[in-house]
Structure 1
Amino acid sequence: MKTELFVLVAALVCTASKPLSKAAQRNKLLLVSFDGFRWDYDQDVETPHMDQLLQDGVKAKYMTPPMLTMTSPSHFTTITGRWVEDHEVVHNMMFNAKTNQKVPHKQTLTRSEWWDNGVQPLWITAQNQGLKTASFYYPGGGANYSGKAVNRVIVEESGHPDDNETEWRENIDKVMSWFSEEDFHLVTLYYGEPDNVGHAKGPDHPDRKTIVRQIDRTIGYLREAIGHHRLNDSLNVIITSDQGMTTVKKRPQVDEIVLNKYLNLLKLASFEILDYGGFGILTPRPGKEQEVFDALSNVPNLTVYKKDELPESFRLAKSERLPPIVVVADLGFNLNSRFIVYVNKGDHGYHSGEMDMKTIFRAFGPDFRRNFLSEPFDSIHVYPLMCKVLQIKPAPHNGSLSVTEEMLLLHGGGSQRSQLSVALLLSMMLFMFTEL
Structure 2
Amino acid sequence: MSLKLSLLCLCVFSTYTALSLHLNHENTSNNDSNKNPQKLLIILVDGFRWDYATRASKGFSTIARNGVKAPYVTPIYPANSYPNWASIVTGRYAEHHGFLDNYVYDSAEKDFFLMGTNANSSHIHWWNQSLPIWTTAEKNNVSTAMYLWDGCQVPIDGITPNYCLKYHSVSDNMEVANNETRAHIKTILDNFSNNKHRLALLYHEYVDHIGHSWGPETINVTNAVIGIDQILQELYDEIKVRKLDNELNVVIVSDHGMVQVDGFKKIHISQFVDFNNDVEMLLGGGSGAQLNPKPGKEDKIFNALNKLEGIKVYKRDDIPDEFHFKHNKNVFPLLVTVDLGYDMAVPSSPGKVYPGGESGISPYPPTGGRHGYDRHVTDIRAIMYAFGPALKANFVSEPLDMVDHYNLFCHILGIVPSPNDGNESKIMKMLK
Q: TM > 0.5 between the two?
A: yes
**Which of residues 421, 425, 432 in structure 2 aligns to 1:398?**
421
Task: Return the alpha-carbon distance in structure 2 between the equivalents of residues 320 and 47 of structure 1.
Answer: 46
Summarize the Cα distance change of 1:378–1:109 in structure 2 as closer, same or farther, 3 Å threshold: farther
Aligned-partner residue type, residue 241 of structure 1: S
Q: Does 1:362 align with 2:390?
A: no
For normalisation by structure 2, the TM-score amounts to 0.84
1:332 CA drift (Å): 4.0
| Alpha-carbon distance change, 270 to 236 in structure 1, aligned in 2, over 3 angstroms | same
Number of positions where the alignment pairs a residue of Structure 1 with one of Structure 2: 385
| Equivalent residue number for residue 7 of structure 1 | none
- Asked whether the 8 Å contact 1:273–1:282 carries over to 2, the reply is yes
Rounded to whole Å, the distance in 2 between the matches of 1:116 and 1:25 is 28
Q: Which residue of 2 aligns with 1:86?
A: 96
- Partner-residue secondary structure (3-state), 1:270: strand
TM-score for the superposition, normalised by structure 1: 0.84
Q: 2:345 aligns with which of 330, 336, 361?
A: 336
> Counterpart amino acid of 1:196?
H
Q: Which runs of 5+ in 1 are unaligned?
A: 1-20, 410-436
Structure 2: which 5+ residue stretches go unaligned? 1-31, 348-359
The residue number in structure 1 matching 2:62 is 52
Choose 225-234 or 49-58, whichever is displaced more.
225-234
Q: Which letter maps to 2:258?
A: M
Query: Aligned partners of 1:159, 1:52: CA distance in 2, in Å?
Result: 27
Q: Which one of the candidate residues 319, 327, 331 is aligned to 2:336?
A: 327
2:211 to 180, 183, 198: 198
Residue of structure 2 equivalent to 1:9: none
Matched, 1:377 2:413: no
Q: Which one of the candidate residues 224, 233, 238 is aligned to 1:220?
A: 233
- Greater Cα shift, 220-229 or 109-118: 109-118
**What secondary structure sits across from 1:177 in the alignment?**
helix
Kept in 1: contact 2:67–2:393 (CA 8 A): yes
Please state how far the C-alpha of 1:24 moved relative to its aligned partner. Answer: 5.5
Post-superposition offset of 1:400: 2.5
Shift of 1:53: 1.2
Report the equivalent of 2:22: none
Are 1:63 and 1:377, in contact at CA under 8 Å, matched by a contact in 2?
A: yes
Post-superposition Cα deviations, 1:263-316, rounded to whole Å, max 9, x if no partner, equal 1122111011243x3120110000111111111112211111112211111000
Q: For 1:54 and 1:372, locate their aligned partners in 2 and report how far apart those are by CA, in whole Å.
A: 7
3-state SS, counterpart of residue 52 of structure 1: helix
Q: CA deviation at 1:125?
A: 0.6
> Is the CA contact (8 Å cut-off) linking 1:93 and 1:108 kept in structure 2?
no
Assess, with a 3 A threshold, how the Cα gap between structure 1 residues 59 and 201 changes in structure 2: closer, same or farther: same
Q: CA deviation at 1:100?
A: 7.6
Moved more, 330-339 or 235-244: 330-339
Give the match for residue 28 of structure 1: 39
CA-based RMSD: 2.1
1:278-427 equivalences under 5 Å are 278-338=287-347, 339-341=360-362, 342-343=364-365, 344-409=367-432
| Residue pairs, 1:206-245, within 5 angstroms | 206-245=219-258
How much identity, in percent, do the aligned residues show? Answer: 30
DSSP 3-state at the match of 1:350: coil
Instruction: Work out the CA distance in 2 between the residues paired with 1:109 and 1:230.
Output: 42
Alignment of 1:96-111 (within 5 A): 96=106, 99=110, 101=112, 103-107=114-118, 111=122
Select which of 141, 145, 157 maps to 2:168: 157
Counterpart of 1:127 in structure 2: which amino acid?
A: E
Shift of 1:355: 0.9
Amino acid at match of 2:279: A
